[in-house]
Amino acid sequence: MATRGTSGSTRVKSVKTTVKNLKNLIQEALIIEAGMKEQHALVDDAVVANIETTPGIDGMSLVRSVMQELTADPEFAIPIDEELVFGILDDLQGEGQIWLDDEEDAWYISGSPQWEEIISMRGQ
């Protein structure tokens, strides 16, 4: 019976260790997720700033500019590539913050004077 008690005690310690490990892993994952969200917000901000600075910028120039700006920042921890920037462009466009003139491959801030001019010229 002493063996059985030792074995049960070992299992309880293992379960406690496993629960503790799981809590630590969850906490680490939440920290990583928060960091990723913060860095995605930086990409969002860089996209918007580039479009505000250069209304009508074409897609590839916009992507290159954002990538160059953010990869110059040594604290930017996530790898940034064209796919990430284009994904964020899609998100911002879906949210209605930015607008793509797909006839001209030109990006604008929704509601900006440049956007309003194009919309009124096209009668949209």
Would you state the pLDDT for residue 2? Answer: 47
pLDDT of residue 12: 62
pLDDT at residue 76, rounded to an integer: 65
Residue 21 belongs to some domain of the structure: no
Is residue 51 left, alpha or beta, with left meaning phi > 0 and alpha meaning psi from -120 to 50?
alpha
Give the pLDDT score at 21: 81
63 lies in which domain range?
A: 38-122
24 assigned to some structural domain? no
In a domain, 57, yes or no: yes
Is 90 domain-assigned? yes
pLDDT computed for residue 53 by the predictor: 96
Residue 1 pLDDT:
45
Give the global pTM: 0.69
The CATH number assigned to the domain holding 53 equals 1.10.10.10
Say what the pLDDT of residue 90 is: 95
Cα distance between residue 89 and residue 62, in whole Å = 10
Q: What is the rounded CA–CA span in Å between residue 110 and residue 95?
A: 10
Q: What is the pLDDT of residue 71?
A: 83
> Would 68 be classed as within a structural domain?
yes
Per-residue pLDDT, 55:
96
Alpha-carbon gap, residue 84 to 90, rounded angstroms: 10
Q: Is 27 inside a domain boundary?
A: no
- The distance from CA 77 to its chain's CA centroid, rounded to whole angstroms, is 12
The count of structural domains within the chain is 1
pLDDT tens, N- to C-terminus, the chain (124 residues): 444 555 566 666 666 668 778 777 777 776 766 667 778 888 999 999 999 999 999 999 999 999 998 888 777 666 788 998 999 999 999 999 999 998 899 999 999 999 888 888 887 6
